[in-house]
């Protein structure tokens, strides 16, 4: 979920994200993974954008993975095969603090081959640059400022000052979801306007309930089966029918904010059929 939200932010604010990651704003277009013959095609948290001269490759990660350094080399080679004339900037952005040595690794070694890439650990980043740019506001809560409640209060004030309603909703929803990595849902709800944030808080509540009940399978009268709690668990949980209505309300709001159907499916866990039937 968190990785998908990051990709959504990158899709909505590509110039701001590029300026942050590589130091220059790119008027870029999305590079489809299928152009690189990726098998399987991964579109969850992979960000590929290109200009005439540069390809930006960003990977948002909640936790480190052993195979990620190799994947960075793999993508670089694939881009070179497809666009040998283009430079490529590659960045891994870790969202949640980790003691693993993998979050320090910015290279991949294979015999006589060494491949380098950039690594950003958000919890080490200064907070102010993220507060000064609306497109980066959702990430501010994950930066080095230790007092997360005061920081969220400041983020809420920044969100209130955004003039465009659509941008305000997009950024507020994204900020609320990412805040779930470091704060409890009641803390988020107490500091952010409920009329903007209620859908994100409700969704967090649904996920938390799904986690708590994740080992309980089967159907009971008046319960919804099938809230997806991630690829690794694949566990179906029972949630009250009223919660389904809440998820549908979340989906409607996300569609109104400009998200694509595919993004809404990834974030809410609803099926394509369920989303297409929404009013």
- The 10s digit of each residue's pLDDT in 8-52 is 888 888 888 888 988 877 766 677 666 676 554 444 456 777 777
pLDDT of residue 243: 52
List the structure tokens of 68: 């990620």
pLDDT of residue 1: 65
Mark 236-261 as b/e (b = at least 16 C-beta within 10 Å): bbbbeeebbebbbebbebbeebebee
List the structure tokens of 184: 């409890």
Coil vs helix vs strand at 227: coil
Q: Tell me if 265 sits within 8 A of 44, measured CB to CB.
A: no
CB-side neighbour CA atoms (13 Å) of 143: 19
Q: Tell me if 140 sits within 8 A of 176, measured CB to CB.
A: no
pLDDT of residue 114: 96
pLDDT of residue 60: 92
pLDDT of residue 277: 85
Rounded Cα–Cα distance for residues 266 and 193 (Å): 25
Tell me the DSSP string of 29-54: EEPPGGGGT-SS---SSEEEEE-SSE
Tell me the DSSP string of 140-169: HTTSS-S-HHHHHHHHHHHHHT---HHHHH
- Digits of tens for pLDDT over the chain (279 positions)? 677 788 888 888 888 888 898 887 776 667 766 667 655 444 445 677 777 788 889 999 998 999 999 999 998 998 898 889 989 999 999 999 999 999 999 999 999 999 999 999 999 999 999 999 999 999 999 999 999 999 999 998 998 888 887 788 788 888 888 998 998 877 887 776 554 444 443 344 444 544 555 444 444 444 444 433 433 333 233 333 445 665 777 778 777 777 788 877 877 778 888 888 887
- The structure tokens 């694939």 sit at 78
Q: Which residues contact 89 (CB under 8 A, 6 or more apart)?
A: 21, 22, 54, 55, 56, 57, 118
CB atoms within 10 A of CB 20: 22
Q: Tell me if 235 sits within 8 A of 229, measured CB to CB.
A: yes
List the structure tokens of 160: 């209130």
pLDDT of residue 225: 44
Which helix or strand (DSSP H or E) is residue 3 part of?
helix 2-12
**Quick one: CA dihedral 11, 14, 20, 26, positive or negative?**
positive
For residue 205, which of 184, 219, 222, 220 has the smallest C-alpha distance? 184
């Amino acid at each position: 979920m968190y990785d998908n939200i990051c990709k959504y932010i990158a899709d909505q604010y590509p110039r701001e994200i590029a300026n942050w990651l590589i130091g220059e704003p790119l008027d870029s277009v999305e590079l489809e993974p299928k152009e690189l013959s990726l098998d399987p095609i991964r579109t969850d948290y992979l960000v590929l954008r290109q200009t005439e001269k540069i390809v930006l490759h960003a990977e948002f990660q909640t936790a480190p993975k052993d195979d990620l350094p190799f994947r960075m080399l793999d993508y670089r080679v694939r881009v070179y095969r497809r666009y040998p004339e283009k430079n490529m900037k590659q960045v891994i952005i870790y969202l949640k603090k980790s003691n693993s040595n993998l979050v320090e690794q910015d290279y991949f070694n294979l015999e006589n081959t060494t491949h380098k890439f950039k690594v950003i650990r958000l919890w080490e980043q200064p907070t102010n640059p993220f507060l000064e740019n609306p497109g980066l506001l959702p990430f501010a809560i994950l930066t080095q400022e230790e007092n997360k409640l005061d920081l969220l209060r400041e983020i809420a004030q920044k969100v209130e000052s955004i003039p465009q309603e659509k941008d305000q909703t997009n950024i507020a929803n994204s900020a609320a979801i990412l805040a779930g990595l470091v704060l409890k849902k009641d803390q988020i709800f107490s500091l952010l306007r409920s009329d903007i944030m209620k859908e994100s808080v409700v969704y967090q509540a649904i996920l938390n309930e799904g986690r708590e009940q994740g080992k309980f399978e089967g159907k009971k009268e008046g319960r919804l089966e099938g809230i997806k709690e991630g690829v690794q668990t694949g566990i179906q949980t029972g949630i009250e029918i009223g919660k389904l209505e809440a998820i549908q309300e979340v989906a409607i709001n996300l569609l109104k904010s400009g998200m694509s159907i595919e993004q809404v499916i990834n974030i809410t866990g609803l099926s394509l059929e369920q989303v297409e039937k929404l009013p």
